[in-house]
Structure 1
Amino acid sequence: MLADQPATALAEQFAQGQRSFTGLQLAGSDLSRLDLSGCEFADCNLTGADLSAATLTDTSWVSCRMAGAKLASIDGVDVRLHNCDLSNTDWTRARLNGSKFSQSKLTGANFAACTFIGADFQECRLVSALLPTISFRRKTLRHLDFSDAELTGCDFREAIFDNCSLRGASMRSCRFEGADLRGCDLGPLKLNEAAILKGAAISKSQATELLRALGLLVL
């Protein structure tokens, strides 16, 4: 355990071959450009830490506090994050191919200009997150809250929504052909927003609510 040790101690322990860390207290630390590939972190505090351009390939993060952390331009291929607080994190230009986010809080996270081939989100809170042009095509999306998120240009073709929310999300230029939205809270939609859902499957109750929101009488 390296609790309360400075970032330099983490780098030294890594260089000595240690790959598993529990209880690290690194809030606000500068960890930029470190190579931490293959490491496992549990119950660590990296709130506001700077991991910009770090190599986090094949790392595992469980129950870590990382709100406000800078993860811009990281190499995060095959990174796994479970039950973490990732609120307001900055992932701009990160490479996240094969990454897995589960049961984590990503409110306000910025994923602009990231690469996401094979990435997966499950049971995550993505309220007000910035997720432009990401492909969710043919994925089963479980318990994802995209409320008020920026989803411009995302590809949801043939995706299945299971207990998800798109309430208030910005969906300009999104594609939903073949998507199953019956398990999704669409919220109130305007006419131009409803047109984006062309080709998607919705339930009868969703159709009724949509027509009512558009000012039509359902008899």
Structure 2
Amino acid sequence: ECDPAFRNCSFDGADLAGFYAAELEFEECSLKGCDLSDLSCESLRISSSNLEHAIFESADILQSEFVKCVGGSANFQNAKMNFARIIGSDLSSSIFNWANLSGADLSGSRLMGIDFTQTNIDSTRLDGANLGLCSLRLKDFKKRRFVGVNFSEADITGCDFSLCEFEDCHLEGAVISPETTFNNADLRGATFVGSELCVARLQGAVITSNQASSMLFDRYGIVVAGNLDA
């Protein structure tokens, strides 16, 4: 028997709750409002498809793939998505409460406005991901390397970025608290315009001279100028 594979199909509003398949593939399909809650699938692959308002609540879809999908306001609450690959997709404003994304690859995806506070995102790969306006409160990111990640206006209250390295990252307007930790982190590849980096824990952190000047101005109103000519 062949496992289901669908291309250029519409499942808008379909009720597939509780569906089981060893393998399931959707390519260039529309799944808007489709109910896939409690889906159990050992190999789920969805590419170039529309997932707007689709429901994957409590789905068991470990190692699933979502590639180049659009899925604003999809519901992944309580879904098991360990080691999933969400690549180049736009799932902004989706729900991931109590979902397990540990070990997932979120590279190049637009995930704006998502509350990840109750989501397991341990060991996720975030290269090129847009996490603007997300809530990441109290997350532990120790010893991670971030490349091209956008944290603009994200809530990183109490996050631990100790020993992290940032390359071409944006934290403009990020919400930073005294409990946010950047101890021994390399921040030279990050921009913090409009965020109060100076209130965070920064023991041993490496920053550029421009970043240091900006922090002194934001904190104390001190302007760092060049040396006067003799």
- Mark yes or no: TM-score above 0.5: yes
Q: C-alpha displacement at 1:201, in angstroms?
A: 1.1
SS at match of 1:101: coil
Q: C-alpha displacement at 1:51, in angstroms?
A: 1.1
Match for residue 135 of structure 2? Answer: 130
Q: 1:198 aligns with which of 202, 206, 222?
A: 202
- Please show how residues 14-25 of structure 1 align to structure 2 within 5 Å: 15=21, 17-25=22-30
SS at match of 1:100: coil
Q: Determine whether 1:171 maps to 2:176.
A: yes
Q: C-alpha displacement at 1:211, in angstroms?
A: 1.6
Q: C-alpha displacement at 1:35, in angstroms?
A: 1.0
SS at match of 2:187: strand
Q: Is residue 188–residue 213 contact of structure 1 (8 Å, CA) maintained in 2?
A: no
Match for residue 194 of structure 2? Answer: 188
What is the rounded CA distance, in whole Å, between the counterparts of 1:218 and 1:171 in structure 2? 24
Q: C-alpha displacement at 1:41, in angstroms?
A: 1.1
Q: Determine whether 1:210 maps to 2:215.
A: yes
Q: What CA deviation, in whole Å up to 9, does each residue of 1:5-30 have, x standing for no partner?
A: 46457976x63x54332122111111
Q: Determine whether 1:46 maps to 2:74.
A: no
Moved over 6 A (4+): 9-12
Q: What CA deviation, in whole Å up to 9, does each residue of 1:101-158 have, x standing for no partner?
A: 0101111012121122222211011110111222221111011111111112211010
- Please show how residues 33-112 of structure 1 align to structure 2 within 5 Å: 33-112=38-117
Percent of pairs with identical residues: 27
Aligned CA-pair RMSD: 1.9
TM-score under structure 2 normalisation?
Answer: 0.87
Q: Tell which structure's C-alpha radius of gyration is larger.
A: 2
Q: Is residue 189–residue 213 contact of structure 1 (8 Å, CA) maintained in 2?
A: no
Q: What letter corresponds to residue 24 of structure 2 in structure 1?
A: R
SS at match of 1:61: strand
Q: What letter corresponds to residue 4 of structure 1 in structure 2?
A: S
Q: C-alpha displacement at 1:188, in angstroms?
A: 3.4
Q: What letter corresponds to residue 187 of structure 2 in structure 1?
A: L
Q: Is residue 187–residue 206 contact of structure 2 (8 Å, CA) maintained in 1?
A: yes
Q: What CA deviation, in whole Å up to 9, does each residue of 1:135-183 have, x standing for no partner?
A: 2211110111111111122110100010111111112221111111000
Q: What CA deviation, in whole Å up to 9, does each residue of 1:68-115 have, x standing for no partner?
A: 111111101111110100110111111111111010111101212112
Q: C-alpha displacement at 1:189, in angstroms?
A: 4.4
Q: Is residue 188–residue 210 contact of structure 1 (8 Å, CA) maintained in 2?
A: no
TM-score under structure 1 normalisation?
Answer: 0.91
What is the rounded CA distance, in whole Å, between the counterparts of 1:9 and 1:49 in structure 2? 11
Match for residue 148 of structure 2? Answer: 143
What is the rounded CA distance, in whole Å, between the counterparts of 1:179 and 1:129 in structure 2? 21
What is the rounded CA distance, in whole Å, between the counterparts of 1:87 and 1:101 in structure 2? 12
Structure 2's unaligned 5+ residue stretches are: 1-5, 226-230
Q: 1:4 aligns with which of 10, 21, 33?
A: 10
What is the rounded CA distance, in whole Å, between the counterparts of 1:30 and 1:187 in structure 2? 42
Q: C-alpha displacement at 1:212, in angstroms?
A: 2.2
